[in-house]
Structure 1
Amino acid sequence: MTYIKFENFTIKPGYIKVDYQDSSTEHFIEFELSQDIIVRNDLIAIALASLCGHKYRKVYIELSISDKVKQSLEFALNAEIICQSRNQGIAITKPFDNHILSFSGGFDSISMLPFLPENTGLVSMDYGSHFSREMDIIRSFTNYIVKSNLLDTNFRSNTWIFMLIGSILYSDLMSAKYNIWGGIFGGSALSKKTFIDKYSTPYLLRATDMESIPYTLSITEICTAKIMLKSHSDVIDASLMSLAPESSEKRYRKQRYIEVESLRNNIPVDLPNRLNAPVKPFTNWGKSLHIDFMQLYFLKYLGYEETSVSVLDIPEQAYKIASTLNLNFYDRFNTNVLKHIPNKFKKKYIDTLLSHGIEPFDENDWHELNQVRDFLSKWHTMS
């Protein structure tokens, strides 16, 4: 039976360290908070659970945690939770609608900012190593940072939820009722027709008494570029430098969103660290659903030759469909997401989209989105 043990805890103001052991590894995980706060045991247990995914059948946590959180972790991990002892927990009151944004400094998280209320806290993770490039822009927005040695472990392959650890650990301090993170309409939402309809708050977040609001799930990366140009053009170059290595497909693709939308919307932008076209394409058509999906947009506005600079073997049918359809849905918002926006925030949400020139899908947009899905299903699995 697969298991993991978290034991030998060090918990001090602004610092948490714990040894862990599973069937193949013995190491430690540590979290250094930029504020000298003591994090309660329940939140520490939830943060550790966010590293596990569904890998383990038994999870030992050498802490006293509440019955409520123990049950939540067992449900979320589909595992037996064995803890030092159980208690009734502490009643946490959250009288306000405070938001906490898991902030990375990239387009998706910066484009969230216009939607959020003033009582929003920004929390970031500092993973060190090659992710250190993110820290300059992160520190220009927030000083609530959790530094971790997570890259020295194998936990990243278990689940993506670890990216929310900062928000989990700071949720009491910020009295946060809502957790927000950047998630856009891309490959995942495209591949599953029911993805948006079935959207829900991750169960581990519910254990912290937070709900998530998918503010940017309704829009593509084109819209995030448009929001950046209109609301945060002064940090675009810094954001580009932070989000991926210069040699990566992602960095060049994000730059091109900005360049195309700058021309389309007649908004000048200064990119002192602009990249030249790559010497050879980064990848081939058919390797990534999200990349292929976005190439149709580039084919529409840049043409076949310029688009082929970064992606090889683009089929002629892709250029044909990009030329034939208007593809307006790329810079409009998917109205199915509205059901997941609490009513108290819905008006501001829609007004913010409209003020950035992002209109709702119309009937033709839905029709063209389905045509694009059908076309891309020749190379990618759809459900």
Structure 2
Amino acid sequence: MTNISFKHLEIAGRQISLRAEYEHNFDLHFKFDRSVAVTSTQVALAMATLAGKKFRSIEFDFEVDENVKNVIESATDAHVTAVSSEQRPPITSDAGNVLSFSGGFDSLSALRLMPRDTQMVSLDFGGWFAREAEFFKKFEPLTITTNARSEPTQGTSLARNHWTFMAIGAILSAGYFNAKYHSFGQILGESLSRVPSRVSTPVVLSSLGYEDAGYARGLTEVGTAAVILQSDPSIVNDSLKSLSGATDRKLFRKTEIVKILSDRLNIRSGTGSPDYSRSPRIRFGEDYASTLAGIYCLSRDIQNPISRLFDDVPKSAYKLAESCSMDFMEKVNWDAYISFPDALREGLWANLFKFGFEPYSEKDWEEVEEVRTFLASAHELALEMH
């Protein structure tokens, strides 16, 4: 793909519509559940997340702030043409929080670690994602319904070009909320494989006035489950079902984690045993999150059925699970907050303490390094077997 054009922009009432033209031509729409003022420059930034770095040139046949046009060029590595204008950044506040909210464990845990007056914005993609929207709407976020993940097809949508498409809601609602800090439900996850470093705010957000605040960034998948079990035990199952199909391995590993933590925390979640006959098996090491969860679950019970997610669990994995406590999975990595805004730290620390999180000990760091090395080797072996 070389060139893409975004044309015929209409911002009217509670709806934005425009046309995307490249090797496919189709109309995009964004429908708000309330009245929200949006500028054409914000729309251009939203489209930049869809273009990603897949095109050599991007054309907007509508007005885009000249400074933001340069930001889009930097973000997409593309030559950008637009009708030049000057539009003020929509965020003027030096306080306030906005969460891009999906309703899954990660964004739910971020919400419970954030200030009580946090605002939420969610994207309703329809179709396969309908169950996700059905759940998150219970929290009454500002909801934007869009076809951005289904056009021209779900498998070829522009949303596949770059992960920042998840920020479209925050981009389009920037002026409405006028909040300084933005959060995704990002957790340690695969970043556990790397030494924590400073995280910069994506330019599509910083150009509007946002500053990144990753509240859940120091928690693992186990940590986020612990937050939800303590804060919202009655909706654990609904959250699980909202983001995971019946055959999705995410459902299986999160269910096993919840069952382990329910016993440890003495909290009833009503989570049953998953039907592993419905789960397609994967190579051990192929998926980082599933493999890490597998080692954790086996460390708590060497007979844990999570082993059935994999074609085969090597003896070395069982040995690691028996020799490592894996306690770091239930703790918080303070180093992951190296870029966290100073003005928000006190509130974050207080909430982490409320949910019982302790920092890594020296032994935990030793185990983190041992697990990192093991997972890197397992992933390399899985690739060789592919």
TM-score by structure 2 length?
0.93
* Other structure's SS at 1:360 match: coil
For residues 192-271 of structure 1, the aligned pairs below 5 Å read: 192-193=194-195, 196-271=196-271
* Other structure's SS at 1:214 match: coil
Residues 12 and 38 of structure 1 are in contact (CA less than 8 Å); yes or no, is this contact kept in structure 2? Answer: no
Q: 1:89 aligns with which of 87, 99, 106?
A: 87
Distance in 2 between residues matched to 1:365 and 1:251, nearest whole Å: 27
Distance in 1 between residues matched to 2:270 and 2:304, nearest whole Å: 25
Corresponding residue number in structure 1 for 2:114: 116
Shift of 1:261: 0.3
Distance in 2 between residues matched to 1:343 and 1:32, nearest whole Å: 35
Shift of 1:306: 2.3
Corresponding residue number in structure 2 for 1:125: 123
What amino acid does structure 2 have at the position aligned with 1:250? K
Shift of 1:280: 6.3
Pairing 1:174–2:177 present: yes
Shift of 1:177: 1.1
CA offset digits 1:16-74 (Å, max 9, x no partner): 1111111x111121111111223111111111111011111111011112112111111
Pairing 1:316–2:315 present: yes
Distance in 2 between residues matched to 1:230 and 1:343, nearest whole Å: 27
Pairing 1:183–2:181 present: no
Superposition misfits of 4+ residues, deviation over 4 angstroms: none
Q: 1:276 aligns with which of 256, 266, 274?
A: 274
What amino acid does structure 2 have at the position aligned with 1:125? L
Distance in 2 between residues matched to 1:280 and 1:75, nearest whole Å: 44
What amino acid does structure 2 have at the position aligned with 1:16? I
The two structures, once aligned, show a CA RMSD in angstroms of: 1.7
Quick one: structure 1 residues 306 and 93, their matched pair in 2 at CA, closer, same or farther if it must change by over 3 Å? closer
* Other structure's SS at 1:47 match: helix
Distance in 2 between residues matched to 1:91 and 1:146, nearest whole Å: 21
Say which is worse superposed, 210-219 or 306-315, in terms of deviation: 306-315
Shift of 1:120: 1.4
Distance in 1 between residues matched to 2:60 and 2:278, nearest whole Å: 50
> Runs of 5+ in structure 1 lacking a partner?
none
Distance in 1 between residues matched to 2:313 and 2:380, nearest whole Å: 18
Distance in 1 between residues matched to 2:241 and 2:110, nearest whole Å: 19
What amino acid does structure 2 have at the position aligned with 1:217? R
Distance in 2 between residues matched to 1:381 and 1:124, nearest whole Å: 36
Shift of 1:191: 3.3
Distance in 2 between residues matched to 1:91 and 1:356, nearest whole Å: 37
Greater percentage in helix: 2
Distance in 2 between residues matched to 1:48 and 1:200, nearest whole Å: 20
* Other structure's SS at 2:175 match: coil
How many residue pairs get aligned? The number is 375
Corresponding residue number in structure 2 for 1:336: 335
Residues 280 and 310 of structure 1 are in contact (CA less than 8 Å); yes or no, is this contact kept in structure 2? Answer: no
Corresponding residue number in structure 2 for 1:34: 33
Shift of 1:327: 1.3
Residues 91 and 210 of structure 2 are in contact (CA less than 8 Å); yes or no, is this contact kept in structure 1? Answer: no
Shift of 1:138: 0.9
What amino acid does structure 2 have at the position aligned with 1:130? W
Quick one: structure 1 residues 91 and 8, their matched pair in 2 at CA, closer, same or farther if it must change by over 3 Å? closer
Residues 91 and 175 of structure 2 are in contact (CA less than 8 Å); yes or no, is this contact kept in structure 1? Answer: no
Q: Percent identity?
A: 29
* Other structure's SS at 1:7 match: strand
Distance in 1 between residues matched to 2:20 and 2:112, nearest whole Å: 40
Distance in 1 between residues matched to 2:325 and 2:12, nearest whole Å: 57
What amino acid does structure 1 have at the position aligned with 2:95? D
* Other structure's SS at 2:51 match: coil
CA offset digits 1:191-212 (Å, max 9, x no partner): 333xx30422111111221111
CA offset digits 1:266-309 (Å, max 9, x no partner): 112234xx353312653221221221111110111121452322
Residues 46 and 207 of structure 1 are in contact (CA less than 8 Å); yes or no, is this contact kept in structure 2? Answer: no
Corresponding residue number in structure 2 for 1:17: 17
Say which is worse superposed, 352-361 or 299-308, in terms of deviation: 299-308
> Runs of 5+ in structure 2 lacking a partner?
382-386
Residues 171 and 204 of structure 2 are in contact (CA less than 8 Å); yes or no, is this contact kept in structure 1? Answer: no
